Structure 1
Amino acid sequence: MSPPPAAALSPVATDSFHLLAPLSGEAHEALLRRNAFLAAIAGAICIGFSAIFVRLADTGPAAIGFWRLLFALGPTAVWAYAEYRVGQARRRRAGAAGPLRLFTVRQFFLAAFAGLFFGADLIAFHFGLVRTTTANALLLGNLAVVFVLIFGWLCLGERPTRGLMAALVLALVGTALIISRSAGAHGGDAASLIGDAFCVVAAVSYGGYVIVTRTLRRNDGAGGVGLGGGMASFISSATGAIVCLVWAVATDEVIVPQSLKGLLAVVGLGLVAHAAGQGLTTVALGRLPAGLVSTVLLLQIVVGTSLAAMLFGEVPSLMVMIGGLMVVAGVVVARPPRTPA
């Protein structure tokens, strides 16, 4: 029997055909952005464990960063190798000759520069964490979203949306509440205020790390392709580990973990907080604006402060909770667009 004429096909039949057709370019891009957003959320949850592991570690602040990055090198090396194999297979299918280039000179130095920023972030954050409360350290350290919005606008041309600008205002007001509470609660205690100040320095450093990583991961706009997440993480982690080790040796810190608990803490930092948390963040930065990713990362505050309250009895004061809620509200305000820009 001959098939019916095209005019006889029902709308249901044609719609079903389109459902089976490949996604359009715009729909595919929207799907990738949603997946990147989920990766950023998962990364924020993993990074939220970092303050707890730091509390349990028994080495110096910079040494903690060294072990964290050292134990992350194995998973990131496997990730980079897997990316290389996939890239090689694609080149063979496309008929390209010669091996795949791992990275350009520019990409290597940018990844190393990101590692310098991340090493500085770890040293400053760990130094500040032992001098202030976990809630203060997490909330002030996550002020990085402010600097990412500013740097991303000035350096990458990623103009913040109204939602991101609202998140910026909320973060600033919340931070002011936290600092004022810290100064009042400790009667101007210099140690607490110094700890808060170092956490803000860590936020600036992490903001630089995010911007450089975003530059590495996105396409360069001239037909090139951004550096793969695995290779970017491996180079930056190796560089950051060297920075932390040099600082630890220069300041005569305790470098080797003194107990099994301390060893497990730095292993957890390397595998959970860095390899998984920062790795997923690097994936998200390949598809989403830096300001949006850094805003989503504020969710780690919920994880960190909740765990600190359960494990260490560090229940945040009302003022700190209000400031924290104002900062976290930025995640809701700055939710990603449903369709690609």
Structure 2
Amino acid sequence: MSPPPAALAPAAAEGAVLLSPLSPSELHEAHLRRQAFFAVVLAAMCIGFSAIFVRLADVGPAAVGFWRLIFALGPTTVWALAEHRAALRRRPLVAGERRALFSTRQFVISALAGLFFGADLVAFHIGLSHTTTANALLLGNLAVVFVLVIGWLGLGERPSRGLLLALALALGGTALIVSRSAVSAPGDAVSVYGDLLCVGAALCYAGYMLMARLVRRGGEEHAPALGGGMVSLIASSVGAVFCLVWAVATGETLLPSSLQGLLAVIGLGLVAHATGQGLTTFALGRLQAGLISVVLLLQIVVGTSLAALLFGEIPSLMVAIGGTMVVAGVVVARPPKPAR
């Protein structure tokens, strides 16, 4: 008998639940995972505005990252404090007990996540100034492949045939995009330089994702997983310092000189970072980093559509083909569903 159509799969799954009811804790966990999934979808839509805001900003690349993180600190601090109070309500302090906000290990890992994210912002913003928005978004989203590769090397997870196919597709598409940049500007390596910086940014973002996932899922014997708000607060603070030091050392313009530039960095802080990255960090406590990376590919659609609408940056056919290969690669790289 042939399998039922895909459209009937949810109904079949619901039937399976009726035949084998889930425990209250399993139902609660499934509900939290659904919440996390939709949080990532919303996060991808918010992060998709990043490249547009960066184009409209009138400060240096690292300064853009600094202001983005600074304007996100207010909402992130409120989130972290709300999480801490909620934890105290769930498990009140007993007489004489003192409970630290985080352990030394949690702080170090969160700070490393912030360094990776700061490096990602600097590399991506500089790369964006030397290439098109479509190229930057497509190459920057190679992070999903890097997440899986670094997870294999660091955690000893053997790559499947699907992962090898994903790597071939993604790297082939990357080579096609970069080679197209070289052909379109013969004798000028500016666009290639921008493309390669965006690939480096993807590698840094993969480091951020893996560090954030590590601290969000816990693992310490006497300390629970660190809340998403606190992880975001530590990482954003460290990332802001990194970007500021880079901007000062390279003599960048630090202060926005126009209302448009000011609104652009405020939008980066509130929309792209506080909301977009905040929801991503929240979801890392419930979903695998690889799965989240795949869902975040939605930002490519948002970013390229806005760039075509606002800046007239219509991707060429060759770049579109390369981008399709990159997207196909990261979709194939999606972690398989766990066996029931």
TM-score under structure 1 length normalisation: 0.87
Looking at structure 2, the residues matched to 191 and 36 of structure 1 have their Cα atoms a distance apart, in angstroms, of 39
Looking at structure 2, the residues matched to 294 and 99 of structure 1 have their Cα atoms a distance apart, in angstroms, of 37
Which residue in the other structure is 2:194 paired with? Answer: 195
User: Residues 79 and 306 from structure 1, CA distance in 2 versus in 1: closer, same or farther, beyond 3 angstroms?
Assistant: same
Q: Contact 1:257 / 1:263 at 8 angstroms: preserved in 2?
A: yes
**Displacement of 1:167 after TM fit?**
3.7
Looking at structure 2, the residues matched to 28 and 162 of structure 1 have their Cα atoms a distance apart, in angstroms, of 34
Which residue in the other structure is 2:6 paired with? Answer: none
**Displacement of 1:140 after TM fit?**
1.1
Q: Contact 1:121 / 1:206 at 8 angstroms: preserved in 2?
A: yes
Looking at structure 2, the residues matched to 159 and 58 of structure 1 have their Cα atoms a distance apart, in angstroms, of 45
Looking at structure 2, the residues matched to 51 and 215 of structure 1 have their Cα atoms a distance apart, in angstroms, of 28
User: Residues 167 and 34 from structure 1, CA distance in 2 versus in 1: closer, same or farther, beyond 3 angstroms?
Assistant: farther
Looking at structure 1, the residues matched to 147 and 311 of structure 2 have their Cα atoms a distance apart, in angstroms, of 31
Which residue in the other structure is 2:32 paired with? Answer: 32
User: Which piece of structure 1 moves more, 42-51 or 57-66?
Assistant: 42-51
Looking at structure 1, the residues matched to 24 and 328 of structure 2 have their Cα atoms a distance apart, in angstroms, of 34
Q: Contact 1:152 / 1:290 at 8 angstroms: preserved in 2?
A: no
Looking at structure 1, the residues matched to 154 and 35 of structure 2 have their Cα atoms a distance apart, in angstroms, of 26
User: Residues 24 and 222 from structure 1, CA distance in 2 versus in 1: closer, same or farther, beyond 3 angstroms?
Assistant: same
User: Residues 160 and 169 from structure 1, CA distance in 2 versus in 1: closer, same or farther, beyond 3 angstroms?
Assistant: same
**Displacement of 1:170 after TM fit?**
2.8
User: Residues 22 and 119 from structure 1, CA distance in 2 versus in 1: closer, same or farther, beyond 3 angstroms?
Assistant: same
Paired letter, 1:83: E
Which residue in the other structure is 1:71 paired with? Answer: 71
**Displacement of 1:249 after TM fit?**
0.6
Q: What per-residue deviation string (whole Å, max 9, x for no partner) do you get for residues 81-120 of structure 1?
A: 010010000012x978735421001111111111111111
Looking at structure 2, the residues matched to 22 and 142 of structure 1 have their Cα atoms a distance apart, in angstroms, of 36
User: Residues 234 and 158 from structure 1, CA distance in 2 versus in 1: closer, same or farther, beyond 3 angstroms?
Assistant: farther
Q: Contact 1:295 / 1:330 at 8 angstroms: preserved in 2?
A: no
| Match status 1:81 vs 2:81 | yes
**Displacement of 1:223 after TM fit?**
6.3
User: Which piece of structure 1 moves more, 76-85 or 213-222?
Assistant: 213-222
Which residue in the other structure is 2:122 paired with? Answer: 123
| Match status 1:319 vs 2:293 | no
User: Residues 73 and 161 from structure 1, CA distance in 2 versus in 1: closer, same or farther, beyond 3 angstroms?
Assistant: farther
Looking at structure 1, the residues matched to 96 and 167 of structure 2 have their Cα atoms a distance apart, in angstroms, of 48
User: Residues 198 and 95 from structure 1, CA distance in 2 versus in 1: closer, same or farther, beyond 3 angstroms?
Assistant: same
User: Residues 285 and 246 from structure 1, CA distance in 2 versus in 1: closer, same or farther, beyond 3 angstroms?
Assistant: same
**Displacement of 1:138 after TM fit?**
0.9
Paired letter, 2:40: A
Looking at structure 2, the residues matched to 205 and 183 of structure 1 have their Cα atoms a distance apart, in angstroms, of 24
Which residue in the other structure is 1:7 paired with? Answer: none
Which residue in the other structure is 2:100 paired with? Answer: 101
Paired letter, 2:291: L
Looking at structure 2, the residues matched to 97 and 165 of structure 1 have their Cα atoms a distance apart, in angstroms, of 55
Which residue in the other structure is 1:274 paired with? Answer: 273
**Displacement of 1:334 after TM fit?**
5.4
Which residue in the other structure is 1:53 paired with? Answer: 53
Looking at structure 2, the residues matched to 158 and 25 of structure 1 have their Cα atoms a distance apart, in angstroms, of 29
| Match status 1:255 vs 2:254 | yes
User: Residues 213 and 140 from structure 1, CA distance in 2 versus in 1: closer, same or farther, beyond 3 angstroms?
Assistant: same
Paired letter, 1:86: A
Paired letter, 2:197: F
Looking at structure 1, the residues matched to 250 and 108 of structure 2 have their Cα atoms a distance apart, in angstroms, of 27
Which residue in the other structure is 1:90 paired with? Answer: 90
User: Which piece of structure 1 moves more, 116-125 or 161-170?
Assistant: 161-170
Which residue in the other structure is 1:134 paired with? Answer: 133
Larger Rg over CA atoms: 1
Which residue in the other structure is 1:285 paired with? Answer: 284
TM-score under structure 2 length normalisation: 0.87
Q: Per the alignment, in what secondary structure is the counterpart of residue 262 of structure 1?
A: helix
Which residue in the other structure is 1:213 paired with? Answer: 212
The percent of aligned pairs where both chains have the same amino acid is 67
**Displacement of 1:154 after TM fit?**
2.5
User: Residues 160 and 285 from structure 1, CA distance in 2 versus in 1: closer, same or farther, beyond 3 angstroms?
Assistant: farther
Looking at structure 2, the residues matched to 138 and 281 of structure 1 have their Cα atoms a distance apart, in angstroms, of 17
**Displacement of 1:169 after TM fit?**
3.4
Q: What per-residue deviation string (whole Å, max 9, x for no partner) do you get for residues 190-233 of structure 1?
A: 11111111111111111111111111101217464221100000
Q: Contact 2:63 / 2:252 at 8 angstroms: preserved in 1?
A: yes
**Displacement of 1:173 after TM fit?**
2.2
User: Residues 174 and 287 from structure 1, CA distance in 2 versus in 1: closer, same or farther, beyond 3 angstroms?
Assistant: same
Which residue in the other structure is 2:10 paired with? Answer: none
Q: Per the alignment, in what secondary structure is the counterpart of residue 287 of structure 1?
A: coil
How many equivalent pairs are there? Answer: 323
User: Residues 80 and 266 from structure 1, CA distance in 2 versus in 1: closer, same or farther, beyond 3 angstroms?
Assistant: same
Looking at structure 1, the residues matched to 164 and 291 of structure 2 have their Cα atoms a distance apart, in angstroms, of 11
Which residue in the other structure is 1:10 paired with? Answer: none
Q: Contact 2:180 / 2:318 at 8 angstroms: preserved in 1?
A: yes
Looking at structure 2, the residues matched to 159 and 76 of structure 1 have their Cα atoms a distance apart, in angstroms, of 37
Looking at structure 2, the residues matched to 277 and 134 of structure 1 have their Cα atoms a distance apart, in angstroms, of 19
Which residue in the other structure is 1:4 paired with? Answer: none
